[in-house]
Amino acid sequence: MLKAIDMHVHVYTGDKVKRSEDQLKKDGVSYHLEKRGQTADEVAQMYQRLEMMAVIFDVDSETRTGVKISNAETAGWMKKYPQTFIGFGSVDPWKGPSAVDEVKRCADMGLRGMKFQQATQAFCPTNPRFFPIFEACSRLNLPVIFHGGTTAISAQTPGGGGLLLEYCRPIPYIDEIAARYPELRIIIAHPAWPWHDEQLAVMRHKGNVYMDLSGWSPKYFPESIVHNANTLVQDKVFFGSDFPVITPERWLSEFAALPIKETVRPKILLHNAAKFLGIELK
């Protein structure tokens, strides 16, 4: 029986699998590298053992890093493990018309949504040059994941690797995209600290905006996130680990200790995501 759906799991594809860790660090994708040894097969086995499904994706920031990813590989993992993996694609927004084509190709390959990381992809979502990408996602009914709040990527390095946190603010950026594309379903990934209250405001206002609770140890969730997840936005919040940053086991054991209502807990762990993704629960 399906116990939970993890809405936020990273896999590595394309050159990220082939390059050495040192080279990736130089490329500016020094990301979760200590656990990069986990193959997608091993990740699938872990979720099977846990009786969970997982939304998997890579992130394309090739124009900044020179490192190619492969959406076809993500689609391949989903086809190999249809009971376990739901694949999302990724396009580097700076690629222009070819990014729009790649969104269409992702839909053709059966991928179920698109993942963006505004800091590592160095783009401001409300710059009109990127609108055709969101239009395509909306038209193809591909929900999008935006990064929310600060990021661990390049944290504590001089200049934070040149990344700008500004683009990860829910207001004004995600709020504007949600208003402009009311049919586009948007997940703001992570408690968007230090802008988590803006995130909650957007979720409470825009019917098409959701969030996942990934990337943070539940012990350290801001109080307003716990309060709102328990009450006003209880139908719009998803479990997510951000594996390999946090293991699903650790996330779940800390989540169990939070004062979440017994009626809300299964919504966050399973039912909200199943409804969002159109997965029928037996």
Residues in touch with Zn ion (CB under 5 A): 242
Burial of 159 (0-12, 13-18, 19+ CB in 10 A): exposed
Q: Which residue is nearest to Zn ion (CB)?
A: 242
Q: Which is nearer to Zn ion, 173 or 230 (CB)?
A: 173
The distance from CA 218 to its chain's CA centroid, rounded to whole angstroms, is 17
Q: Which is nearer to Zn ion, 70 or 120 (CB)?
A: 120
Task: Provide, rounded to whole angstroms, the least separation between the CB of residue 259 and Zn ion.
Answer: 26
Say how far apart CA 213 and CA 245 lie, in whole Å.
Answer: 13
Q: Which is nearer to Zn ion, 7 or 100 (CB)?
A: 7
Say how far apart CA 115 and CA 156 lie, in whole Å.
Answer: 25
Q: Which is nearer to Zn ion, 88 or 134 (CB)?
A: 88
Tokens found for residue 35: 């656990």
Q: Which is nearer to Zn ion, 222 or 240 (CB)?
A: 240
Are 148 and 168 within 8 A, CB to CB? yes
Task: Provide, rounded to whole angstroms, the least separation between the CB of residue 58 and Zn ion.
Answer: 10
Task: Provide, rounded to whole angstroms, the least separation between the CB of residue 181 and Zn ion.
Answer: 22
Within the chain, where are the H helices? Answer: 15-18, 21-27, 40-49, 62-65, 71-80, 97-108, 131-139, 175-180, 196-205, 223-230, 248-255, 265-266, 272-277
Task: Provide, rounded to whole angstroms, the least separation between the CB of residue 179 and Zn ion.
Answer: 25
Q: Which is nearer to Zn ion, 60 or 242 (CB)?
A: 242
Tokens found for residue 236: 């719009």
Task: Provide, rounded to whole angstroms, the least separation between the CB of residue 8 and Zn ion.
Answer: 5
Task: Provide, rounded to whole angstroms, the least separation between the CB of residue 35 and Zn ion.
Answer: 13
